Structure 1
Amino acid sequence: MIAAVGSVLCVVIVVMGAAGDVYTALGDSDPGRLTSLAFGLVRTLANAAATVTAGALAFGVFVVPAPPRRTQLTAHAYAAVRTASTAAMVWCAAATAAIVLSAADASGQTFSVALEHLGGLVSATEEPKAWICSAVAAAVVAVVARATLTWTTSVLVLLPALAGVLAPVIAGHVANGAWHDVATNAMAWHVPAAAVWIGSLVALRSYLRRPGSSVDVVLRRYHRLTAVCLVVLVLSGAVAGAVLTGPAGLHGGYVVLLLLKLFVCVLVLLLRARWGARRPLAAELVAVGLALGASTGLTHLVPPAWSRTRPSAQETVLGYELPDPPSAAELVLGWRFDLVLGLGAVLLAAAYVVAVLALRRRGDAWPVGRTAAWLLGCAVVLVVTSSGVGRYAAGMFSTHMVAHMSLNMLAPVLLVLGGPATLALRVLPAGPRWWVTALLHCRATRLLAHPAVAATTFVGSFYVLYFSGLFGAAMRLHWAHQLMNIHFLISGYVFFWLVIGVDRAPRALPHLARLGLLFSVMPFHAFFGVILMNKQTVIAEYFYRTLDLTWVPDLLTDQRLGGGIAWATGEIPMLVVVLALLRQWAVADRREAVRFDRATDTGHDDRLAAYNAMLAELSGRKN
């Protein structure tokens, strides 16, 4: 551990000492060597503590074996979660200090001046806001992880931990310049993978000091989990590095640090293959230090791509140009692959097919209709995020509405008909199968899947997003745009899960209640489209004016077209849902009739038995 800390500090100090003036090249003021070095060290501490927090949580809930059908953490899992809580306290303190230091670094002020004008500096720059989010996430994780004794809470608190780790990164270098959409998407995979690898390694070292009876199982799970993380690290790091270095940037200190990170990850994989399970752990700690130090150095240096080209207004906002209006050929063939939702759709489709094939090899059947529905739903997500539709959705309101309605209405309908949870419960081994069951029945899922909450989120988000100014703010930032799309998909999935989902919901509704729930939200979708078609002001006008798409001469006309699309495309999926619900209702009634006939034929009538039991009880009371 000492060697790992020493390697981190050596790399950070050497890089920041040898970098020289990195501010003049960006047109910024130099805050001074002391402020710059302090920010680098504090950022390194915050990143290290954040990764230990997230990774230790992942180790405690996914690597340490849990007793079957128990929600309480085992002693070893609890120790890992407490490690995460302690690291989160350090993370919160370092992130709080980084708020002021990042404001000073971005504005070229000393620490004292930045502290005096902190409010104005935070509102004017993005990175201090990201550190505020990181500090809040750390505080939440520190409190909840310290108090929890249950597996499900530990899993759920992993979400804010990963979000807090990711926030300062996606607000940094990757969020600027041409192709920043690709770089940001790549880092959305890169940072969580790094956190899980590094933090679970630290937790594993602590575990091996007090091993239990499941050492071999823990080591096997650890190596499987982190091997996937290392592969993701190499691939996503190469993509983000290619964007930030540019086509002719294969020289200089930035590239050296980038290659060092990639080399460390590949080296760890090779050491594992050669040495086996136990011996590479000490070497991995040193590798972790080198990787963390290189990461901090990369955030301090100027990416080579920035010094070679000056991005246009469209590249600055979107990451790419939209020089021509959307033709049919451009919408179909003009792909820009989305590394978050597009790649996620491909991976989910592949995992589903693998699970179905595993069932068939076992001799079990799985309905073809469910497989077709799932694959079609994944295809919808892939097309509307990665094809020309996805490219133009970021610049045109009308095309955005096509993507919105597809992600919120069409894709979820198809996905819930695929029954992924039912398939997972039939295919997965005992441990992961218990994980799925626990998450499906935990309090958080029951709350989100409450009919009132699901319906309000499904419909209310339309009005809150588009009529409050949030839409314009979200469209300016790629990560916020992605978060908006993910919200559309999840809120639609949860609502249609309650209405026509194959998987059993935490609160099973009778078919008549499902139909009523569906009819209760249908008018609000229609009203939303009508309001858009009649609105006299442009939503997110500043954003669309900044893009300056000359082939969209009238923003209000395009917005009204989007309203018409929202109204028309919202009704078609609803009709499909009504038909699917009525069919499920009819099938359920037939099954109930068959069950009743069988019971009658064998002389067992549940309803008659219940009636006789009631009469017997009343007779007993009279006596």
Structure 2
Amino acid sequence: MSRSVRVFGPAVLVAVALVSTVAALAYGGGAAPQLIQDPGAFSRWGLPIAKLFVNLGAAGMIGALVLVVWALAPKRREFDVALDVAAASAAVFTIASAVTGLLTFLVVTGVPLSLGDTFGAQLGQFLTAIPLGQSWLATTLMGAAVTVLCFAVRNHTAVLFVTVLAIASLVPMAQQGHAAGTAGHNAAITALGLHLIFAGVWLGGLLTIVLLRRELDAKRLPVVLARYSTVALICFIVVAVSGYASAALRIGTWDQLASQYGVLVIVKLLALLALGGFGALQRRYLIGRMSRAGVSGVREFWFLVVAELAFMGIASGVAAALARTATPVGEEPGSIAQSPAEILTGEPLPPWPELWRYFTEWNLDLLWIFACAFGIFFYLAGVRRLRRRGDSWPVYRTVLWVAGMLLLAYITNGGVNAYEQYLFSAHMAAHMVLTMAVPVLLVPGAPVTLAARSIRPRKDGSRGGREWILLAVHSKFAGIIANPLVAAVLFAGSLWVFYFTGLFRWTMDDHLGHEWMIVHFLITGYLFVQSLIGIDPVPYRLPYPFRLVLLLGTMAMHAFFGLAIMSSTGLLLADWYGAMGWGTDALIDQQTGGGIAWSIGEIPTVALAITVAVQWRRSDQKESTRHDRHADRTGDAELEAYNAHLAAIAEHDRRG
């Protein structure tokens, strides 16, 4: 079984996925003839099948690269074989994406397939001028780039950047999902993107382990499998939650579960639950058994793997069919927008922004819910591991870290996030909290120090969390951006660059731009605070007096920016905030935002100044204590020598 599974396992996956796709299309009507401009049976059935191979190719590509980055050792043959798997999967992904783009054009336009110049011109127009075509063209080009890089790159660090590019190739696909352009489209994009990425890592990682069968002996297999199992558990959680969120947006109410779309969602959910059970069996039983007894349990493991691949095939096939199945909640807006604000944002208006509404309204962003939840969980797990082995960790660091993560979760999901598209003042409040308040809480938590102390180091040449974190912290790039002067320029300068260039507009129009904005301001704020009061290691720190000077100078620039906004007489985004028509004066609201930018920095500035002063005093006390202890050990030898030197000079002067 263990020898034939390298062929039998992938064959089962593809066969079951194809059968599931065809059955789900037949049941859900995803390949039914169109009433207007029907493209023909070939295009109607071929499009979801091509999309299935896009998903399978993406899974093999991303899953193999994640294993290379996380679990495999560069000095072993397993590393190169896994990269070959990634390259082959990326090639499948690229070809399938190109075919999908062509079939999408045929289905959308109803133009018959031909080799004429007119057809080529129409296809070129679709791929270069229409957003749907542009997304498939971008996906194909990125897939081709990943294919070449997987063959060419063998450096462990460089593979990480190839992995990032491979994950980025799924972003255009995420922006095509159901509900694109309707209420809840931002949540739909985030949920679908997370679902695609983590499902791909889950499926592709297991498939890669199967294809690495010859390279993993009885001792090596449990090691690699244990590392994959940790990643698979995270993937299961993310896939389950994001799948539920996507289904809720598309189904609407519980009674719609009886619809064809709802039944297919239930089938996919049952397959997911079965996969979760298989994963639990692996973690609790088979991995430990194989680690203790060597070959014992290996045969049972491979049987379980084939069963997992079969259920993954069911889930993948149903998912491909769901993309072509009509949803109970239509993709077109159900009613005419009642205000310009709804036309601009595509979202229903939240209630009037009374102060208390900022603490009761929610606009959930799954990406940051997961980031904050996992950030708290892994931090507490690290603290627990330290204490179990008898090491100490200050309680205040844990409290501050958890508080910072909870504040970040509120800003990215709470009332401020619900109103920032409509009110410049709410947007500025989110910006100031992200770049100033959240880092002031997170930096004293010293996450890098905790990771270095709590994560077990790898001894086989592979890189886990500890190795990647320390490599990033000690890299030349980190040394540049962590420099106090560079961090201060990024912190203050990004304000002006962001609000007075096209970046601001991008974050309003594109959900990807909105997510970039959060990451950017969080990182620049973190780097600046780290340069002032950080505990984690950095290449260079300013002396304490210069830290205070840097803080005051940077915050003066920050305050000047706030005053400039307060005194402005023109709108920054007149065709956005000025066109909302929501019953608020956009200019007064913008000036209020400037006041927030000016005033909200005062409390973090005072907190930072006090912290720097306290650290300065403690540093002087430690230095004084160190000198006292040295004097006690040497009997004040340095002082005695200095006094003798002065006495010799005095005697020399007296004789002269």
Band the TM-score falls in, shorter-chain normalisation: 0.7 to 0.9
**Number of the residue aligned with 1:283:** 307
2: CA distance, partners of 1:329 / 1:395 = 17
The AA in structure 2 aligned to 1:9 is L
Give ranges in structure 1 of 5+ residues lacking alignment. 67-71, 609-623
**Number of the residue aligned with 1:564:** 595
1: CA distance, partners of 2:346 / 2:58 = 28
Q: 1:218 aligns with which of 198, 217, 224?
A: 224
Please say if residues 533 and 559 of structure 1, whose CA atoms lie closer than 8 Å, have aligned partners that are also in contact.
yes
1:497 aligns with 2:530: yes
Q: 2:607 aligns with which of 547, 554, 576?
A: 576
User: Structure 1 residues 592-601 or 291-300, which shifts more?
Assistant: 592-601
Please say if residues 100 and 111 of structure 1, whose CA atoms lie closer than 8 Å, have aligned partners that are also in contact.
no
C-alpha change, 1:323 and 1:270, in structure 2 (3 Å) is closer
2: CA distance, partners of 1:217 / 1:9 = 33
User: Cα distance, 1:317 vs. partner?
Assistant: 5.8
Please say if residues 399 and 562 of structure 1, whose CA atoms lie closer than 8 Å, have aligned partners that are also in contact.
yes
1: CA distance, partners of 2:606 / 2:39 = 61
User: Cα distance, 1:135 vs. partner?
Assistant: 3.9
TM-score, with length taken from structure 1: 0.85
Please say if residues 92 and 135 of structure 1, whose CA atoms lie closer than 8 Å, have aligned partners that are also in contact.
yes
1: CA distance, partners of 2:20 / 2:194 = 24
**Number of the residue aligned with 1:422:** 449
The AA in structure 1 aligned to 2:538 is A
User: Cα distance, 1:149 vs. partner?
Assistant: 3.5
2: CA distance, partners of 1:179 / 1:285 = 33
Please say if residues 87 and 150 of structure 2, whose CA atoms lie closer than 8 Å, have aligned partners that are also in contact.
yes
**Number of the residue aligned with 2:13:** 4
Give ranges in structure 2 of 5+ residues lacking alignment. 1-9, 287-300, 459-464, 640-656
Please say if residues 372 and 408 of structure 2, whose CA atoms lie closer than 8 Å, have aligned partners that are also in contact.
yes
CA shift digits 1:154-203 (9 cap, x unpaired): 33432232222243123322534233343333334322220111110121
2: CA distance, partners of 1:130 / 1:16 = 24
**Number of the residue aligned with 2:390:** 363
1: CA distance, partners of 2:576 / 2:595 = 21
Please say if residues 98 and 128 of structure 1, whose CA atoms lie closer than 8 Å, have aligned partners that are also in contact.
no
TM-score, with length taken from structure 2: 0.81
Q: 1:229 aligns with which of 224, 231, 235?
A: 235
User: Cα distance, 1:404 vs. partner?
Assistant: 1.0
1:398 aligns with 2:447: no
2: CA distance, partners of 1:173 / 1:562 = 35
Please say if residues 324 and 551 of structure 1, whose CA atoms lie closer than 8 Å, have aligned partners that are also in contact.
no
Q: How does 1:498-577 map to 2 (within 5 A)?
A: 498-511=531-544, 514-515=547-548, 517-519=550-552, 521-544=554-577, 548-552=580-584, 554-577=585-608
Q: 2:404 aligns with which of 358, 377, 384?
A: 377
2: CA distance, partners of 1:537 / 1:605 = 69
Please say if residues 337 and 386 of structure 1, whose CA atoms lie closer than 8 Å, have aligned partners that are also in contact.
yes
**Number of the residue aligned with 1:250:** 257
Give identity over the alignment, percent: 32
1:56 aligns with 2:64: yes
2: CA distance, partners of 1:594 / 1:77 = 52
1: CA distance, partners of 2:130 / 2:553 = 43
User: Cα distance, 1:137 vs. partner?
Assistant: 4.0
Larger Rg belongs to: 2
**Number of the residue aligned with 2:361:** 334
Q: How does 1:307-318 map to 2 (within 5 A)?
A: 310=334, 313=337, 318=345
1:195 aligns with 2:200: yes
Please say if residues 179 and 315 of structure 1, whose CA atoms lie closer than 8 Å, have aligned partners that are also in contact.
no
The AA in structure 2 aligned to 1:366 is W
**Number of the residue aligned with 1:262:** 269
User: Cα distance, 1:51 vs. partner?
Assistant: 1.7
**Number of the residue aligned with 2:139:** 134
- Secondary structure in structure 2 of the residue aligned to 1:175: coil
Q: How does 1:444-523 map to 2 (within 5 A)?
A: 444-451=477-484, 454-511=487-544, 514-515=547-548, 517-519=550-552, 521-523=554-556
- Secondary structure in structure 1 of the residue aligned to 2:183: coil
The AA in structure 1 aligned to 2:583 is W
User: Cα distance, 1:328 vs. partner?
Assistant: 2.1
C-alpha change, 1:467 and 1:117, in structure 2 (3 Å) is farther
User: Cα distance, 1:5 vs. partner?
Assistant: 1.9
2: CA distance, partners of 1:318 / 1:45 = 34
- Secondary structure in structure 2 of the residue aligned to 1:602: helix
CA shift digits 1:82-136 (9 cap, x unpaired): 3223323443444455555545555555567675256764576443343344345
User: Structure 1 residues 245-254 or 10-19, which shifts more?
Assistant: 10-19
Please say if residues 21 and 30 of structure 1, whose CA atoms lie closer than 8 Å, have aligned partners that are also in contact.
no
C-alpha change, 1:331 and 1:272, in structure 2 (3 Å) is closer
Number of equivalent positions: 598
Q: 1:346 aligns with which of 358, 368, 373?
A: 373
C-alpha change, 1:525 and 1:142, in structure 2 (3 Å) is farther
CA shift digits 1:252-307 (9 cap, x unpaired): 43223322222222122334556844321112222232222222222222321117
2: CA distance, partners of 1:264 / 1:606 = 77
The AA in structure 2 aligned to 1:44 is L
**Number of the residue aligned with 2:325:** 301
The AA in structure 1 aligned to 2:559 is A
C-alpha change, 1:357 and 1:20, in structure 2 (3 Å) is closer
